[in-house]
Chains A and B, each alone.
Chain A
Amino acid sequence: MPETVKLRFGEAVNAALRRAMETWPEALLYGEDVAKPGGVFGVTRRLRNDFGERVFDTPISESAIIGSAVGAAMMGRRPIVEIMWIDFTLVGIDQVINQAANVRYVSNGALSAPLTIRTQQGATPGSCAQHSQSLEALFAHVPGLRVCLPSTPQDAYDLLLSAVACDDPTLVIEARGLYAGEREEVVIGGPIAPVGGSRHRQHGSDLTMVTWGATARTAAQAAQALAAEGISTDLIETVWLNPFDTDAVLSSVERTGRLLVVHEANVTGGFGAEVIARVAESGVALRAAPGRLGLPDLRVPAAPHLSAAVLPTADRITDAARRIVAGTPVFCR
């Protein structure tokens, strides 16, 4: 029976993991420090107590964590593994890209690897260059791999369950800066949605803003600030990058004629480029050049005032939106 509870983002992840472990006896949950210590962000607390050996700590061996999940998944388990920071997926990336994403296709559908990789990304003040990267575009580039980025407690719950239920390898990218955020109402125990879809966060007519992950909340703040000055924003959070809800973006852009994509990842080769390409290919007539705002192509500097000088803030987003509405192109590099 669905019920409504108040949960922080991190608690919602915990609730989803609990439900996944209850729903799928074949589910396994493992990663560095996830079991006895309950996770470095406290997200996996108490699950070891309640699910015993199905929840365990691993060596600091990302390649073996992900690779073993591929193998176990091929044998009928449903592993959910945590890679503490998305930067560390790079240490095990062969297992993600060459292995997990390939299993179904090259076996002509005879095999599958239904595993879920949970990780988190996004720059927080003072986090260092190897702990601040936004790498969603890298993974969304790979056919065979599902990718989503929740930014609310409800989505943290819902998307994770969709990911575990899905028979494809799925990457769930959480936002570290949100784990300990405010408690919000979350419906738990409801139906598990199939992967895909987007969220229409705000309706507006002047400009379509598309965003996901760590910048979704900043974009919402910016949309409010814009409303105060008479610019009405249609805000779409594309929580899934694969599958991507192209239709939601197109139908919005058809109405507004203007597009701004906001993400925290570096601009060049970022997923924002893909969104703009899809709109361009669709032939929708735009009233102004589309824009993308992200981190200028940089390593993230450690000093908080230096990173604050380059990351997309609400001010930078409103500024970019104003420019688009005024017909001045946005170049963020």
Chain B
Amino acid sequence: MTSHQPAEIGDLAAMQRIRSFEEKTRELSLARQIIGSVHLSIGQEAIPVGACAVLQPQDAVFATYRGHGWALARGVPLAPSFAELLGRSTGLNGGRGGSPYFSAPQYGFFGENSIVGAGAPIAVGAALAARYDGSGRVAVVSFGDGATNQGAMHEAMNFAAAFSLPVVFVCENNTYSELTPIAEMVGEPELWRRAAGYGMPGSRIDGNSVTTVRDAMAAAVDRARAGEGPSFIEAMTERLVGHYIGDVEHYRPAGEVASAWQREPIGRLERELVAQGVTEAVCRAAVQQAADEVERAVAEALAAPLASAEDVKEHLYA
């Protein structure tokens, strides 16, 4: 590795780290080593990686149940993340949360949520707190296209706009709400247009380009930090796997997933880098390194004992 490599090599590795983590997760789930619901973000990695690249430690990220990528992009270590999925004592949340509730506040990751749309008002509250604690914190909340149809989302966006709160609303539009296409469930499929109605800037961007995501986020975060209020970013992407593990995707047109693989963010960034003169070997090395890191982490997690049921009643109250 040389010193004059473009920063995007880091993005490539960061996206691959998420991809490998989730591929391993799928393997463990199919092998029944992970029991319970797991929602993968394979294909959507550019959004958390691009978004988190411009955040500072004091910023607060809130994700959906499809939030492994956001956690890892925030710097949450791999081994305790695997351990959480595997119910180990070393798990991020002691096996209480599981895949849909990763949280690691020490990394500015305030948690996933499996109630669609519920994270938005909470993120607004994190932004509200910033107004009083002088931290300069920006709150970022990710949600799906389907989540924009929740009442809580509307209330949150209006609340944030009314008080010019430092929130960035990041809609990961993968075109499906579980098994139903978003286009059939809204009168205005360009979701970003809603932002205008609340009085905040909205944009629709290519969510498979990590660079585009980073630029859009940088503008929104700067605006938030400058006290100018919230923004709405609709990042267009595609889910390369089922809604959940085991989803046979009978509702997707034939060929859709195969064609989406041509546009997925990791291969795309590699092609862009190679076109800029980075050697394939350098790209491959970054990808391989991330994949190796994942293998080491899963081994570490598997070596840890199961979480003890002795203290299962702890952490209910202060």
Contact = CB atoms under 8 A, between A and B. Distances in A.
Interface of A: 32-33, 36-37, 40, 57-64, 87-88, 90-91, 125-131, 296-299, 301-306, 309-310
B184 A57 contact: yes
Given A57-B184, A60-B146, A87 B115 contact: yes
Interface in B269-318: 306-307, 309, 312-313, 316
Given A60-B146, A88-B115, A126-B98, A303 B307 contact: yes
Give the contact-size bracket for chain B. 35 or more
Given A57-B184, A60-B177, A296-B313, A125 B306 contact: no
A59 B146 CA distance: 7
Contacts of A87: 115
Contact of A57 (B91, B180, B312): B180
Interface string B78-115: 00000000010001000111111100000000000111
Contact of A306 (B87, B113, B116, B185): B87
A91 B91 CA distance: 30
A131 B114 contact: yes
B96 A302 contact: yes
A256 B4 CA distance: 84
Given A59-B186, A298-B312, A32 B100 contact: no
B178 interface: yes
A298 B149 CA distance: 31
Contact of A304 (B36, B180, B313): B36
Given A37-B250, A60-B149, A310-B312, A131 B97 contact: no
A311 to B, nearest CB: 11
A61 B87 contact: no
A302 B98 CA distance: 5
Interface of B: 34-37, 65, 87, 91, 95-101, 113-118, 146-147, 149-152, 177-180, 184-186, 250-251, 306-307, 309, 312-313, 316
A305 B87 contact: yes
Given A61-B151, A90-B115, A126-B34, 5 more contacts: A36-B180, A129-B97, A302-B87, A303-B98, A305-B306
B223 to A, nearest CB: 29
How would you classify the secondary structure of chain B's contact residues: helix, strand, loop or mixed?
loop
A276 to B, nearest CB: 23
A61 B178 CA distance: 13
B312 A306 contact: yes
B38 to A, nearest CB: 9
A64 B96 CA distance: 32
6 contacts: A33-B180, A36-B180, A90-B115, A129-B97, A130-B115, A296-B313
A126 B96 contact: no
B251 A60 contact: no
Nearest to A302: B98
Given A32-B178, A37-B251, A131-B114, A59 B312 contact: no
B101 A302 contact: yes
B184 A302 contact: no
The list of the 7 closest CB pairs from A to B, nearest first, reads: A126-B36, A302-B98, A303-B87, A303-B95, A59-B149, A126-B35, A309-B309
A40 B147 CA distance: 17
Contact of A61 (B37, B150, B180, B250): B150
Contacts of B306: 303, 305
Given A37-B251, A302-B96, A306-B95, A130 B36 contact: no
Given A59-B149, A91-B150, A130-B115, A301 B95 contact: yes
Nearest to A308: B309
A129 B115 CA distance: 10
Contacts of B96: 129, 299, 301-303, 306
A219 B101 CA distance: 31
Nearest to B36: A126
Nearest to B96: A301
A131 B37 contact: yes
A296 B312 CA distance: 11
B137 to A, nearest CB: 25
A303 B101 CA distance: 12
A59 B185 contact: yes
A63 B151 CA distance: 7
A128 B251 contact: no
Nearest to B147: A60
A40 to B, nearest CB: 7
Nearest to B154: A61
B180 A126 contact: no
B149 A128 contact: no
A305 B180 contact: no
B82 to A, nearest CB: 13
A192 B184 CA distance: 36
B317 to A, nearest CB: 10
Contacts of B179: 33, 36-37, 40
A125 B99 CA distance: 13
Contacts of B177: 32, 59-60
Contact of A128 (B100, B313, B316): B100
B251 A126 contact: no
A331 to B, nearest CB: 14
Contacts of A58: 185
